[in-house]
Amino acid sequence: MDHRPKIVVIGSLNMDLVVKAVRTPKRGETVMGEEIYFIPGGKGANQAVGLARLGAETTMIGAVGSDAFGEELKKALQKDGVNTSSVKMLDSAATGVASILLAEGDNSIVVIPGANARCFPEDLDQYEEIIAEADLVLLQLEIPLVTVEYAVELAQKHGKTVILNPAPAENLSEDLLSKVDYLTPNRSELALIARMSEESPIAKGMERLLDVGVSCCITTLGAEGAAFMEQGGSLVEVPGHKVSVVDTTGAGDAFNAGLAYALARKKSIQEAVEFAGQVSALAVTKFGAQGGMPTLAEVEAYFRRDEDEKDRNLKQ
């Protein structure tokens, strides 16, 4: 039996209130919605579920309110085998909520951080041993930036690989970027962090981030796939996969889970980005960010079938 990679996810837990409508309302307009769902979410929790389903030994560090949503979020993680003993429950703040509108094949999201805003650097001190025992630490930006910076320092102190998914985008210091092994922005996040226009070539933005010390930058490009650039290397493009899209909400989280899992299994960056693309493609074929996260067996079976079909088509 292969060693199960140990991965610590430090980040957000939200209850997603998902509203489906035929179209997005114009300013000041009311439209009738079709359905509403209450779905466990938050970038951190989504990525933790993605990792656990792929087979990683996953621990979540974060905060929820001691309310019904908080209980539900912890239970959802536990059901998928995520260790939640380091998720603190607060009486002083409500559980974070994301209001998601699904309309016209896309999503728009408003996030109320709640307890996520109270995930503080000092909370990480009591979990330092968990970080020290991990193979890899995965972070996003839905908790306070000071906590992210401290987590990266702790990970570096213990020689751990750090993946930072810089979402939602904000300006990051060169000091923080220089300590990140793998940075995974989408196109708009890349533009903001590299301080350039979205029209600029992505290679230019990635070079800027490598110049300040990021070891490897991986930019996700939606249906087009992803591209990556390592220190001293040139741009490598990894094409996307054609799938029937049901819900794109957790696509980026699935990508980061796949990437973290593959890198913790000591795969090459090329293999890891290819695998992350497969996990992400499969995730958008199902509804719900966490609900759509595939297992390793599902990824392998689906893409083996895909390869078999390509082989058959070539032979015809």
Which residues have a catalytic role annotated? Answer: 253
- The whole-angstrom separation of Cα 118 and Cα 144 is 8
- The whole-angstrom separation of Cα 252 and Cα 232 is 26
Residue type, 251: A
Q: Give the Cα-Cα-Cα angle 217, 158, 131 (nearest 5 degrees).
A: 85
Query: Which among 288, 229, 216, 218 is positioned nearest to 258, based on CA atoms?
Result: 218
Adjacent-strand bridge partners of 83: 59
- The whole-angstrom separation of Cα 208 and Cα 103 is 35
Query: 83-89 — which CB contacts under 8 Å span 24+ positions?
Result: 83/57, 83/58, 83/59, 84/60, 85/59, 86/59, 86/60, 86/61, 86/62, 86/127, 86/130, 87/13, 87/60, 87/61, 87/62, 87/63, 88/62, 88/63, 88/64, 88/119, 88/123, 89/63, 89/64, 89/65
257-to-118, 123, 163, 308 alpha-carbon distances in Å: 24, 23, 10, 26
CA pseudo-torsion sign 278, 19, 78, 60: positive
Q: Which helix (H) or strand (E) holds 192?
A: helix 187-193
- The whole-angstrom separation of Cα 96 and Cα 111 is 8
